[in-house]
Structure 1
Amino acid sequence: MSLVTLLPFIVLIGAMFLMTRSAKKKQQQAAQMRDEMQPGSGVRTIGGMYATVKEVNEDTVLLDAGPGVDLLFAKNAIGAVLSDDEYNRIVHGVEHDLKADGAHVPDDASSLTGTDEPAGASEDKPLDLTKDAADEPAADLTKSDEAEPKKTDGGSEAK
């Protein structure tokens, strides 16, 4: 047999080796994540249920899914152990505190201008809402638009 005949088999065996190695690595990471689970951690099961770990045993986990609701799951049924911030955001709707990061979002725009008075309350120049002569040409443009024939949406008149 020549090398050309054996080449497809060698490539196939190499691909199978790489795929099983990748799958084994993912399984080891999942097992390590489940072993590091501690009471009080927020978790998501493979079914999509969010709960708090109450007790960890060798092959099982006791989860607190709500007031008075304790559920016993196999460790393999835990899909992910969540960080405290992520768990609180998903389950309780609590966003991460932005003030802890040093970012500040103002409640109104007056704090952005550096003055304490609200916008439009300046006493230097009163706001004039009367119609000026500068508005006249704009009115003429709308009249000329009305004189042109209107376009239709393709009704019986357009045929």
Structure 2
Amino acid sequence: MSIGILLPLILIVGVMFMMTRSQKTKQRQALEMRNKMEPGTGVRTIGGMYAVVKEVNDETVLLEITDGVHAHFTKSAIGTVLSEEEFNRIVHGIEPEEPAGLDGEAEDGADAVAGDAASADGVTDADKAADGDEEPISLDKSDADAEQDGSAAKDDAAKEQNGSASK
């Protein structure tokens, strides 16, 4: 056997060994991540759904998708275990607070007290914005029909004022 044939075979075996080794390392890291799940941690499934772990079993996980809505998933369906700060930032839109004094500016004590009072009673800035003058959007068909009837009546009134309506 010549070295010209032996060298490519050795290279192929070496590349295959390196690929399987990196794949095994990724599988081991994923297994460790899934084993560190505990009730109360936030997760993202491989389908992109965010939920909170309620119960961990041998092969399954009970996730709370929203208040009162629970679903069972296999552990392999968990894509990422998120830190509490990251989960709150993604799901609830709560940015992590920076420790005082990092930006070099003095904070106004009244603003800090007002922020603490708002967080203590559970009212967030998003809740305050939702309580504004905006009316919630309804997707009922009856509302859409009423809007169409109202816009048709407005069009007729406008035509009559312009004198373009036929009699």
Shorter chain as normaliser: what TM range?
0.5 to 0.7
* Pairing of 1:1-159 with structure 2 (within 5 A): 1-100=1-100, 102-103=102-103
Structure number with bigger Rg: 1
**Aligned to 1:40, what secondary structure does the other structure show?**
coil
Q: Pairwise CA RMSD of aligned residues?
A: 1.7
Counterparts in 2 of 1:57 and 1:100: CA distance versus 1, 3 Å: farther
Task: Report the CA distance between 1:71 and its aligned residue.
Answer: 0.7
Q: Percent identity?
A: 57
**Aligned to 1:98, what secondary structure does the other structure show?**
coil
Return the alpha-carbon distance in structure 2 between the equivalents of residues 66 and 101 of structure 1. Answer: 36
Relative to total residues, which structure has the larger helix share, 1 or 2? 2
- Stretches of structure 1 lacking an aligned partner (at least 5 in a row): 108-159
> 2:152: which partner in 1?
none
- Stretches of structure 2 lacking an aligned partner (at least 5 in a row): 108-167
Return the alpha-carbon distance in structure 1 between the equivalents of residues 29 and 100 of structure 2. Answer: 32
Return the alpha-carbon distance in structure 2 between the equivalents of residues 58 and 21 of structure 1. Answer: 26
- How many residues end up aligned between the 2 structures? 107
Q: Provide TM-score, normalisation by structure 1.
A: 0.63
**Aligned to 1:27, what secondary structure does the other structure show?**
helix
> 1:148: which partner in 2?
none
Task: Report the CA distance between 1:62 and its aligned residue.
Answer: 0.2
Return the alpha-carbon distance in structure 2 between the equivalents of residues 3 and 63 of structure 1. Answer: 58
Task: Report the CA distance between 1:101 and its aligned residue.
Answer: 6.6
